[in-house]
């Protein structure tokens, strides 16, 4: 394992295996890329060598375990995020084992590293109607950035789309004439249509007009002041900022751990509470399996039980490092 084909393997994994053979979406491939980049950077720091000097032997099972511990302790990642990173590494080493039988034993030891049970996975954080309203009201719409941010979160609330779906959206996917709708490309490259509220259409039309963008354009819908797509981290930063402002008037926000995906949960819960049937919600959100959508119904039922209990008669009875190696630069350029 002295010969270093690491960069060749990574390129082949991302560009050939994931892209051509598995036909994964760009967002999924970028998630794999980011995991590999984090793992290589961590290895280089721990071994006090450059990324370009790393070999397959350096990517040991012990180092994978240390990397996972680093994610949870130093980067404060959740068990779910830790498991997602491990799943990406499992896929990479499974690919290596199939391609290079001589290192199969090494790869199998990494594949044997288990996932952690996420006991809080059944907990769905979502916003009450007044909380969602407070966040939207916290946005200053008097400038283009603020108007874009308001439109972004209103659009996310309307569609319940995954943040990756929203950020990868092109203007031509919007139908701003009746019937108002948007075409998303979700997980597994599956397409779905989602209806748009008239208010959402009004916001989008105004945003595109302010940017001087034609409704049939191939431009991204949500961009920064340089005309580049907003990033997941950018959306998270904006949401956190507006939550802090909104919490001054809506104190219940202070006790919640809200992230962009929480808006998707919020849409699902509000649709359910409005009487929309579960199959329509499934199609709205683009869930492949009804079981995924059913958890919202279970949460709603539990809420009703708690309300009922409240009305029952009273009885007796919670080291920064920025490597500049070619491999990392290539990963970043994808």
Catalytic residues: 162, 187, 261, 264, 287, 296
Beta bridge partners, 191, equal 185
Q: Which two tokens stand for residue 254?
A: 């202070």
* SS3 at position 136: helix
- How far from chain centre, in Å, is Cα 287? 15
Cα dist from 158 to 110, 116, 127, 178, 235, whole Å: 42, 34, 14, 16, 16
Cα dist from 290 to 124, 126, 256, whole Å: 16, 19, 27
Beta bridge partners, 192, equal 184
Q: What is the CA radius of gyration of the chain?
A: 23
- Do residues 110 and 184 make contact, with C-beta atoms less than 8 angstroms apart? no
What is d(CA 195, CA 155) in angstroms, rounded to the nearest whole number? 11
Helices marked H in 48-197 — which ranges? 61-73, 79-99, 104-111, 129-137, 144-159, 163-167
Pairing of strands 181-185, 174-175: antiparallel
* SS3 at position 278: helix
What is d(CA 136, CA 259) in angstroms, rounded to the nearest whole number? 15
What is d(CA 97, CA 85) in angstroms, rounded to the nearest whole number? 18
Q: How far apart are the first and last CA of the chain?
A: 27
What is d(CA 193, CA 198) in angstroms, rounded to the nearest whole number? 16
DSSP 289: S
């Amino acid at each position: 394992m002295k010969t270093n084909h690491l960069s060749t393997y990574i390129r082949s994994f991302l560009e050939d295996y994931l892209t051509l053979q598995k036909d994964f979406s760009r967002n999924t491939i970028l998630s794999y890329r980011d995991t590999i980049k984090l793992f290589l950077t961590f290895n280089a720091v721990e071994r006090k060598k450059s990324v370009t000097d790393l070999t397959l032997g350096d990517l040991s099972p012990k180092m994978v375990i240390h990397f996972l511990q680093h994610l949870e302790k130093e980067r404060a990642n959740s068990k779910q995020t830790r498991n997602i990173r491990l799943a990406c590494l499992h896929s990479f080493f499974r690919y290596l084992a199939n391609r290079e039988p001589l290192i199969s034993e090494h790869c199998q030891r990494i594949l044997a590293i288990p996932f952690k049970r996420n006991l809080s996975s059944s907990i769905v954080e979502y916003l009450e109607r007044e909380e969602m309203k407070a966040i939207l009201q916290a946005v200053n719409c008097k400038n283009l950035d603020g108007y874009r941010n308001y439109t972004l979160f209103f659009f996310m609330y309307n569609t319940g789309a995954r943040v990756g779906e929203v950020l990868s959206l092109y203007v031509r996917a919007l139908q701003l004439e009746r019937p108002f709708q948007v075409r998303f490309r979700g997980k597994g490259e599956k397409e779905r249509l989602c209806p748009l509220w008239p208010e959402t259409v009004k916001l989008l039309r105004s945003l595109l007009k302010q940017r001087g963008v034609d409704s049939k354009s191939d431009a991204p819908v949500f961009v920064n002041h340089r005309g580049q797509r907003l990033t997941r981290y950018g959306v998270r930063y904006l949401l956190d900022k507006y939550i802090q402002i909104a919490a001054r008037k809506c104190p219940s926000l202070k006790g919640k751990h809200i992230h962009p995906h929480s808006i998707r949960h919020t849409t699902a819960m509000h649709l359910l509470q409005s009487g929309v049937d579960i199959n329509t919600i499934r199609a709205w959100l683009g869930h492949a399996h009804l079981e995924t959508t059913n958890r919202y119904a279970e949460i709603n039922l539990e809420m009703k039980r708690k309300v009922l209990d409240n009305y029952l008669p009273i009885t007796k009875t919670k080291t920064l490092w920025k490597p500049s190696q070619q491999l990392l630069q290539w990963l970043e350029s994808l």
